[in-house]
Amino acid sequence: MPAIVLKKVSKRFGNEVIAVDEIDLSVEEGAFHTLLGPSGCGKTTTLRMIAGLEEPSGGTLQVNGQVFFDAEEHSNVPAPERNLGFIFQHYALWPHFTVFENVAFGLRVRRASRDEVKTRVAEALERVQLTGYEDRYPSELSGGQQQRVALARMQIVNPAVLLMDEPLSNLDAKLRLEMRSELKRMHLETGSTTLYVTHDQIEAMTLSTAVTVFRDGKIQQTAAPRELYREPANLFVAEFVGNFPINLLDATAVSKRGDGRWDFTMEGVGNQSLSGHLQESEPMLSPGDRVVLGLRPEELALVKDDDKDYREHVMRGRCAIILFAGSEAIVEVEVGDRRMRVRVESTFGIQPGQQVSIAILRMHVFHADSTQRIGSVNYNVS
Amino acid sequence: MAAPERPQSQRMWEVCERATGQVLRSLRQALAEPTTILGIGMVLVLAVLILVPVYEMLAETFTTDTGRFSLEHWQRVMTRQHMLYRPLANTLRVASVVTLLSLAIGSALAWLVVRSDIPWKSLTGKLCVFPFMIPSWVSGVAWISVFRNSSHFGGRQGLLESVFGIAMPPWMTYGYVPIVINLALHYFPFTYILVSNALRSLDSSLEEAAQMLGAGRWYVLRRITGPIALPAIVSALILTFTMAVGSFGVAAILGPPARFYVLSTITYSLVRNRFLSEAYVVGVVVTLIGLITIYLNVMVMRSRKSYATISGKGFRRKTVALGKLKPLAIGFVLVVVAMAAFIPVGVLTWDSFSSAPGVYTIDNLTTHFWIGDSRPDLGVVPEAEQGILRNPAMLRGIWNSLRLAVPAGLISAFAGIVIGYIVVKKRGSLVSKALEFLAFSPYLLPKIPFALAYLVMFAHPRGPIPALYGTMILLIVICTVNRLPFSSRSGISGMIQVSGELEEAGLVLGARWLYRFRRIMIPLLRPGFAAGFVLAFISTMRELDLIIILATPRTTPLTWLVFEYNDLDVPQLASALALTIVLLTFAVYIPAQRMLGSNFLSGANQEGS
Ligand SMILES: Nc1ncnc2c1ncn2[C@@H]1O[C@H](COP(=O)(O)OP(=O)(O)O)[C@@H](O)[C@H]1O
Ligand SMILES: [Mg+2]
């Protein structure tokens, strides 16, 4: 049974802003589920509605089988009674309490005995490696330490579900990596159902067991990270997910051959055409349809012209710029009047101005009008 | 000693020479920079204007008429119930209740405006600081008009009796209760400003984090919101208490008819009755109470761990729905603001147009007290006087007010900037510290004793300083000095913002000191200067406490006239004059607010009158 279930949940602010628009979401027990999307798309609002900090304008909301909100029934369990953990974007540590008092708060609310408070706070602080910091004030801690206090404070009351709102966005790059693995470790250890919000797709992909992509208050796709990357449901997801910006080319589906291969005529790249097998058994495509071809830089390769393996599915162009990034590099190749980004190993020998060919390893096809995914084409190198 | 012995005297000489050389060198270095000279000069001037008078007053309390040391004045004051103990007890009684009331009103309003969903927030917020614009003793004048009763105190009817037939008991007209109510209604805006700023900088997520851990509303208020707002509340408490202990006008207007005296009014009455030395003693006691409170403040602030809120970004402020309590909340705001500002102003307006005071019928209205002719044929009655706008004595009052407030405003705003410049430039040096302390010190001195100290200091010529008593200059000086804590504070913070790189850029380009100050600093500081001027001008326009003792017939400003006419029981003239002050204040305040932004008043959050 899913731990969190949202049905047709909406949130309006005033009459104009629809922050969350009739979303359906279910989070599996024990999952590390991430809400991903650009800022302002309604992730925080969704999380806050689950927490009880914001009242939905409509829909129903259940956690572990208990109805927390139901618009029809006018039922709404207040936040303090929901027993959920929440990590705020800016930690929300109380400045007038020491680390100890911050962590102890949840136990004190529950009127735990003095001794219990003492031992459990000590345990919690040990878990986040902050033993010895009991008497510090939050302002005397580094960002990473504040973060860990927030984690300890949340966990001390054993919440049913953990909700985290961009907990790493305030840390510098190195610390963020550290805390990322710490969160992952914590999740593996405790197995608590976690709903996590971020706008950073790498964070989402590395941490999650499932990802929901948001846009303008609507859900675009919910899938495991690998599926999200391999089979993005629409152009928005394809553009949002992936380490490098995807190349998009307008094209027309010309015809279907007898063997099930489709021909696509591309625009802006000197009317080159491509053909390939769509993996899907019955793609929603008919001849003459306008499509967008998505080519990930890491699913392209630069090849020598005489490489027979790739002859069929290559585009020819001229190397314009090389953007070096450590172990790899992005080469921008002028093809017709378009520029295509191609990822190469940084040891790949190439100079700006050189003629090159781009081999396509995999290609995503989207409807131009609906932006929905039609399918992908895999080019098996023979 | 292994070193070859040289004559002792020679070694001494060398040491001396080296030391002298060092002193001379550092002196020369210091003098090469005009900031230091200016700083030393300012320190001396302020010492003469603040420390010396206070010291002189203190010394005076221990001196007999023949100039010998003696404790007789202290003994006399200590043994007279009515001179010290009773007024002291009254003062503490007034100040503590006023403090509690204005803290309660101010905090409640702050919470409503910042954290609840009360409608028309911006307007409500403005209304909450509005009473601050009305001098407190002006409401005192209006209070009498409303609450007086034909069966006591001179026998005229007040508004309540005349219109509604409600005869107020005497203790509602004069004395403790009305003084407390009027002061509380005047002082709550300070709490409002301080606490609402604190609440504004409180991120809702701090409260939500507590909710998520299972804390209910009251628990959150008690353990999170309250403690975080506490430093602001404590500041407001100390500030209000200090102001209430020193306050004069309201108690002077509402107290004496009921024989109710506080320390400031007993001091004044001692001065009036020529018990000067006794007045000085009481003045010293008032000053001491002020110092003790401030000291407590410092201790409280120091013992609390300072906890800057951590992150200012990504801030959410959720408002609490008032639900059914909303009408009640709106009613509360309206009643408070009406009682503190609108009713007093309305009553004064009516009174100033009343032919006979205390009669609330249309046919009683007249413009006589504004623009009427003098009527010597009527004999010695108020109606014989000219309307204030044609009366040379009143016009001179207006003129005196202006020629007091304009220079005091300009000088204190300018001095604030110069002090700020020196303090910031010389950060860490003795000059900087001394100057900062001196500029702040008038804040510690209640006004009536401070004016007394000036009376001691400037009644006779001293060295190069002529006897300034009786001149406008003395009033300008004391009003300027009184504003220094505020103007120097804003001068310092302004300087911290603009000094440094901007000025150094000019320095690199080879600009000389005066040129730098004039062409780079001044233009950057102009808005701060304007705000400083406006605030000083407004507060001087309605200053009563500082000038009541020092004004002489040639220098009486409007406030003094109001006080006099109230004493003479001519409410129409007192009202018309009080209203003139309020109008003049607004005539400056409203355009200033347009130009300087609506927030500049919050810089004024620590002054009362
Ligand atoms: N309290 C609020 N009042 C009005 N609009 C809000 C409020 N909170 C959020 N919004 C709006 O709702 C939308 C979604 O906000 P949010 O959930 O914070 O986005 P995200 O967390 O994805 O960046 C935004 O357009 C935001 O401006
Ligand atoms: Mg957000």
Transcribe A308-364 into DSSP letters. Answer: GGGGGGEEEEEEEEEEEETTEEEEEEEETTEEEEEEEETT----TT-EEEEEESEEE
Q: B208 and A53 in contact by Cβ < 8 A?
A: yes
Q: Which of A82, A341, A74, A230 is nearest to B213 (CA)?
A: A82
By DSSP bridging, strand A193-198 and strand A32-36 are parallel
| Residue B88: alpha-carbon gap to chain centroid | 21
CA nearest to A106 within chain B: B213
User: Is pLDDT of B273 > 90?
Assistant: no
Ligand 1 binding pocket includes A43 (Cβ within 6 Å): yes
Q: Locate tokens 């000019």: which residue? A: B506
For B549-563, how does the pLDDT look when each residue is reduced to its tens digit (9 = 90+)? Answer: 888 888 888 888 888
A95, B309: Cβ pair inside 8 Å?
A: yes
Q: Is A39 in the pocket of ligand 1 (CB under 6 A)?
A: yes
- pLDDT score, position B118: 86
A192-222 exposure pattern, b = at least 16 Cβ within 10 A, e = fewer: bbbbbbbbbbebbbebbebbbbbbebebbbb
Residue B602 CA to residue B607 CA, distance in Å, equals 10
Q: How far apart are CA A317 and CA A338, in angstroms?
A: 10
Query: Tens digit of pLDDT for each residue in A29-83?
Result: 999 999 999 999 999 999 999 999 999 999 999 999 999 999 898 899 999 999 9
Helix, strand or coil, per DSSP, at residue A62: strand
Nearest to A157 among B203, B214, B309 (CB): B214
Mean pLDDT, range B57-74, rounded to an integer: 80
Q: What's the B575 CA to ligand 1 centre distance in angstroms?
A: 53
In angstroms, rounded to a whole number, what is the distance separating the alpha carbons of residues B566 and B322? 44
Please list the helix, strand and coil fractions of chain A in percent, rounded to the nearest 5, in that order. Answer: 25, 40, 35
Cβ–Cβ under 8 Å, residues A240 and A37: yes
Asked if residue B346 has pLDDT above 80, the reply is yes
Q: In whole angstroms, how large is the CA radius of gyration of chain A?
A: 25
Q: Which of A43-57, A192-206, B342-356 has the lowest mean pLDDT?
A: B342-356
Decide if A62 contacts A5 (C-beta within 8 A): yes
pLDDT at A34: 96
Indicate the pairing of strand A161-165 with strand A193-198: parallel
The pLDDT of residue B350: 84
Q: Indicate which atom in ligand 1 lies nearest the CA of residue A46.
A: 17
The side-by-side arrangement of strands in the sheet containing A247-256 is: A273-277, A261-266, A247-256, A290-295, A362-367, A373-378
CB distance B308–A109 less than 8 Å? no
Which residue did the predictor score with more confidence, B19 or B397?
B397
* pLDDT at residue B303, as a whole number: 60
Cα nearest neighbour of B205 on chain A: A92
- The residue to mutate among A25, A41, A195, A218, having the most atoms of ligand 1 within 8 angstroms of its beta carbon, is A41
Q: What is the pLDDT of residue B609?
A: 35
- Which two tokens mark B16? 């001396």
- Contact, A53 vs B206, CB < 8 A? no
Q: What is the mean pLDDT of chain B?
A: 80
**pLDDT score recorded for residue A7:** 95
Report the pLDDT value the prediction gives residue B308, as an integer from 0 to 100: 47
For each of the domains in chain B, give its residue range(s) and CATH number, in order of start. 36-65+388-609 (1.10.3720.10)
Q: Please, which residues have CB within 8 angstroms of residue B285's CB and are 6 or more apart in sequence?
A: B84, B88, B263
Of residues A82, A90, A109, nearest to B219 (C-beta): A109
pLDDT exceeds cutoff 60 at B604: no
Condensed to tens digits (0 to 9), the pLDDT of residues A279-328 reads 766 667 888 889 999 999 999 988 876 666 666 677 888 899 999 888 89
Percent of chain B's residues with pLDDT above 70: 85
State yes or no: pLDDT of B310 exceeds 50. no
Q: Name beta bridge partners: A266.
A: A251
Round to the nearest angstrom and report the end-to-end CA distance of chain A: 45
Backbone angles phi, psi at A92, to 5 degrees: 55, 45
More confident residue, A13 or B356: A13
**Which range has the worst mean pLDDT, A184-188, B431-435, B505-509, B513-517?**
B505-509
Residue type, B347: V
Could you give the CA distance from residue B487 to residue B417 in angstroms, rounded to a whole number? 7
pLDDT of residue A61: 94
Residues in chain A: 382
Given its phi and psi angles, is residue B492 left (phi above 0), alpha (psi -120 to 50 degrees) or beta? alpha
Is residue B73 predicted with pLDDT exceeding 90? no
Q: Which residue of B has its CA nearest to A51?
A: B212
- Per-residue confidence (pLDDT) for residue B1, from 0 to 100: 40
Q: Look up the ipTM and state it.
A: 0.86
Cα(A7)–Cα(A62) distance, rounded to whole angstroms? 9
Average pLDDT over residues B258-264: 90
Question: Which residues 214-243 of chain B have a CB within 8 Å of chain A?
Answer: 214-216, 219, 223-224, 227-228, 230
What average pLDDT does the structure give for chain A? 89
A19 lines ligand 1 (CB under 6 A): yes
SS3 A106: helix
Tens of pLDDT, residues A316-352: 888 999 998 888 999 999 988 889 999 998 888 888 8
DSSP percent split of chain B into helix, strand, coil, nearest 5:
75, 0, 25
pLDDT-derived band of residue B603, with 50, 70 and 90 as boundaries? very low
